[in-house]
Structure 1
Amino acid sequence: MSEAETSRTPGLLRAELPYALMLAGAFIGVALNNFSGGPTLLYWQLLAPAYALVCILASWEQRDDSRDHMRLIRTQAIHWLACFIAMRLLFLPQIRGVLNDNATGLALLIVLALSTFLAGLHANAWRIAVVGALLALSAPAAAWVEQSALLLSLEALVILAIGALFFWIRAKMRA
């Protein structure tokens, strides 16, 4: 890597960090919902406004005047309020009685994916739209992992057992 590329790398990582954090936040929310054994409404209530803030900041400099800034804030606020309401609906007792925790987590991920993609389009922020698309693509993968969790756990145990056996035999051979 050249010196110019090395000096640009931290700046590039810093510029992309909010989008990576958006992805991580969604995946943490799904994991919390699936493994906590109960609703994680507070987490999702905090995630939606955080996403709204990132969306506003991502396209703030593209706006020319205060009227455009106010339109951006108003549009994003209404958009993310609708997302927030959709998330709240998934936690109503009538819906929680029909959906299990895994299904709720996937539904929350899909609502967030669609909201993020559309927010990126409204804000003319292509990185936000890409985050939304990645979240949408991750929903089927998350469903597969949830369905295959037992199989994946067994495979991990077999790999660990083989590794432990290898190290045990290696230690015996050295002795």
Structure 2
Amino acid sequence: MKDSIARNSPNATRLLLAQAPFLAMLACAFFGVAYTSVSRHGMTFYWMILVPAFGLVCVATAWRENAEGAKWRAALLQALHWGAVMLAMNLALMADVERAMSAEASALVLLVILALGAATAGLHLRAWPIVIVGGVLAMGVPIFAWLEERTLLFALGGVGVAALAAMAISVRSRLSAARG
């Protein structure tokens, strides 16, 4: 039994590291909505930085997953896709549109755009973790709308649980390595 745990711990750590960019995508998007809900003001700059970060993860995935001849085409298509997402977010953040919505509603609209962008990017890449990110972001919209002011508490709690889980996996793998 202990041998199977020792063999599986490095795999669990590798799996966690492989999924880290996608978990970071989720954490950053949810943080943006949570912070906007608590602070009551828009975070235009944050969202405009988040979109290229999502795009970079998708371009890296496209680069890694495609054959040598298709890498540049896939990367270019992802860059164009995320440029369109950025344009959609800019349209939603235009002064006239933003004045018509509260900061919380604006953050939820941006989350919907980001979710759609991630899901379609993942489908084009056939990268299921990115599709899942888009789906989780989309499911987060009604949840955040319902939770309103409690979102920061829940987001921070989720980050804390994830950090504890990562630490537990790390400690377990180190103990297994020390014993083995």
Both structures adopt the same fold (TM-score exceeding 0.5) = yes
1:19 is matched with which residue: 17, 22, 25? 22
Query: Displacement, 1:36?
Result: 2.7
Render the CA deviation track for 1:81-116: whole Å, top value 9, x for unaligned: 111111111221110111111110110110000000
**Residues 1:4 and 1:59: Cα distance change in structure 2 (over 3 Å):** farther
Render the CA deviation track for 1:50-94: whole Å, top value 9, x for unaligned: 1011112223232112x4111111111111011111111122111
**Residues 1:46 and 1:147: Cα distance change in structure 2 (over 3 Å):** closer
Specify the SS of the correspondent of 1:38.
coil
Specify the SS of the correspondent of 2:100.
coil
What runs of 5+ residues in structure 2 fail to find an aligned partner?
A: 155-180
Q: Conserved in 2, the CA contact under 8 Å of 1:52 and 1:76?
A: yes
Q: Conserved in 2, the CA contact under 8 Å of 1:34 and 1:101?
A: yes
1:143 is matched with which residue: 136, 142, 145? 145
Residue type of the alignment partner of 2:13:
P
Q: Conserved in 1, the CA contact under 8 Å of 2:59 and 2:79?
A: no
1:39 is matched with which residue: 38, 42, 67? 42
Distance across 2 between alignment mates of 1:80 and 1:141? 25
Q: Conserved in 2, the CA contact under 8 Å of 1:39 and 1:91?
A: no
1:117 is matched with which residue: 106, 111, 119? 119
What runs of 5+ residues in structure 1 fail to find an aligned partner?
A: 153-175
User: 1:77-116 alignment to 2 at 5 Å?
Assistant: 77-116=79-118
Distance across 2 between alignment mates of 1:121 and 1:148? 32
Q: Which residue of structure 2 lines up, in the alignment, with residue 163 of structure 1? A: none
Specify the SS of the correspondent of 2:67.
coil
Specify the SS of the correspondent of 2:45.
helix
2:129 is matched with which residue: 102, 106, 127? 127
Specify the SS of the correspondent of 1:2.
helix
**What is the Cα-based RMSD across aligned positions, in Å?**
1.8
Q: Please give the TM-score of this superposition, normalised by the length of structure 2.
A: 0.77
Residue type of the alignment partner of 2:46:
Y
Rg larger in structure: 1
Query: Displacement, 1:148?
Result: 7.4
Residue type of the alignment partner of 2:53:
A
